[in-house]
Amino acid sequence: MFRTLNPATGDLIEEYPFVSDKELEEQLIQLQSSYVAWREFSLSSRTDCLRKLGTLLLKDVERFASLIGLEMGKPIRFARAEVEKCALVCDYYAREAENLLRPVVQKSEIFSSATKYFRPQGTVLAIMPWNYPFYQVFRFAVPNLVAGNTVLLKHSPNTPGCALAIEELFDQSFGEVKPLSSMFLSHQQCEKAIKDPRIVGLNLTGSVKAGRAVASLAGQSIKKSVLELGGSDPFVVFADADVDKAAKIAANARLSNTGQVCCAPKRLILENSIKDRFIESYLNQAETKKIGKPADESSDLGPMAREDLKRQLADQVRRSTEAGASVCSPNCPAPQEGFYTSPLLLLGGGVDNPAAREELFGPVAWVDTFENEKESVFKANDTDFGLAASVWTEDSKRANRVAGDIQAGVVVVNGSVTSDPSLPFGGVKNSGYGKELGEEGIKEFLNTQLVMEA
């Protein structure tokens, strides 16, 4: 059962039963038929569909933004921005698909000619999360669809309305061929779909536990998988940095989406001499944030998406304090009803406390310190995750050295991490593997076929 509650009140919105096994089989047949037709569409026809999709998104942005807020609690300003970013993805791939998919002539010492072609392969299963219920789907589906693949979407159980709205958008934009289908699948049905020969690969954004499970199933069937499994991103600040600016950016990034962001800074690793100043600036910035209802234009933070997520975060804070971490609480009160929680900073407690070892998926960050560059890199890398990182320093040579030594898929110097449609995004270690977006993202589920002439 897909069951969604209003996170601002805890009230039930709606329940959706799982599809039957028969309906799943019928949809797999339909998607295979759609793929056979869709791959024959000209690239210009596919990009025309993307332009229409982007137009429809912006035309109805308020409805979609309100739906995002209703189902997972994102404040309306930021939900609106999420929908608009989906339109940017459509625009980018509509403009750049021809360049990204153009055959590449390869030099050969043996053959007279060799050309790499990028061929679609079929239907890819997308298992998508709730924290960016529109953008996560679009950043995966749009490049795959324009390249000629089709998509079976299994969305998060607490954002089913978003899943249906997305399917409707794609139906309106892509016509009768219907290259994307959304289904309410159980775990067992997901497993069945992964094993089905009509599914050629899978993309998952979710937990490490879920990533291990689906990667194992994909491996058993010799299928490509791309995994984005979250992070515990280091935010390394040296004493020569603009400390107040760094603290402001850190607070804004950490508290964005009520802290429910995979690539947000979660471990604030500060040169010891600036720790107190940074913490003061961070707390001051946090206190400017208003926690309120998602529909309120003035809200900066909404509720957490689900009650179990709120409980899990509270348990991590409790266990971290029991391990020796201290708590700094900005004056940022949260409503009592619903799944609201207030921002916190956790300080110290040793490198084995939960705040240092686990991903904090909510408006809580952990503070640690270092004495020199070598120690900063060691502490940044002292994690099982490797999604993204930030390095703050006015010394460009040091910035390049530290960025090169940090084990992460993305490193930003003197800024915060965000995804860009034109740039590849993905991590290493327990943050997963493979890329989304950019040239690398569009080719993950394509067959790079080499055609040679003797």
Q: At 419, is the pLDDT very low, low, confident or very high (cuts 50, 70, 90)?
A: very high
2-228+429-453 and 233-413 share one CATH topology? no
pLDDT digits (tens, 9 = 90+) for 357-402: 999 999 999 999 999 999 999 999 999 999 999 999 999 999 999 9
CB 22: neighbour CB atoms within 10 A?
Answer: 8
Q: What amino acid occupies position 49?
A: C
Give pLDDT, residue 203.
98
Rg, the chain, Cα only? 23
Per-residue pLDDT, averaged over 66-95, amounts to: 98
Residue 292 pLDDT exceeds 90? yes
Taking the model in full, what pTM does it have?
A: 0.96
Q: How many CA atoms lie within 13 A of 41 on its CB side?
A: 24
Give the mean pLDDT of the chain: 97
Give pLDDT, residue 52.
98
Give pLDDT, residue 453.
93
Residue 35 pLDDT exceeds 90? yes
For residue 307, indicate whether it is catalytic.
Answer: no
Q: Which of 71, 167, 228, 436 is catalytic?
A: 228
Q: What amino acid occupies position 444?
A: E
Q: Which of 90, 262, 263, 332 is catalytic?
A: 262
Length of the chain: 454
- Domain ranges for the chain, please list them: 2-228+429-453, 233-413
C-alpha distances out from residue 118 to 32, 103, 406, 443, Å: 19, 7, 32, 7
Beta strands in 130-244 (DSSP E): 150-154, 180-182, 199-205, 224-228, 233-237
Per-residue pLDDT, averaged over 418-441, amounts to: 97
Tokens linked to 370 = 């270092």
Give pLDDT, residue 238.
98
Give pLDDT, residue 273.
98
Q: At 196, is the pLDDT very low, low, confident or very high (cuts 50, 70, 90)?
A: very high
Per-residue pLDDT, averaged over 121-131, amounts to: 98
Per-residue pLDDT, averaged over 192-212, amounts to: 97
Indicate the pairing of strand 113-119 with strand 447-453: antiparallel
Pick the CATH number of 233-413 from 3.40.50.2000, 2.60.450.10, 3.40.309.10, 2.40.70.10: 3.40.309.10
For residue 262, indicate whether it is catalytic.
Answer: yes
Per-residue pLDDT, averaged over 130-140, amounts to: 98
Which burial class, exposed, middle or buried, applies to 15 when counting CB atoms under 10 A from its CB (0-12, 13-18, 19+)? exposed
- Residue with tokens 């055959």, as numbered in its chain: 103
Residue 1 pLDDT exceeds 90? no
pLDDT digits (tens, 9 = 90+) for 106-122: 999 999 999 999 999 99
Pick the CATH number of 2-228+429-453 from 3.40.605.10, 3.40.50.2020, 3.40.630.10, 3.65.10.10: 3.40.605.10
Q: What is the DSSP letter of 408?
A: -
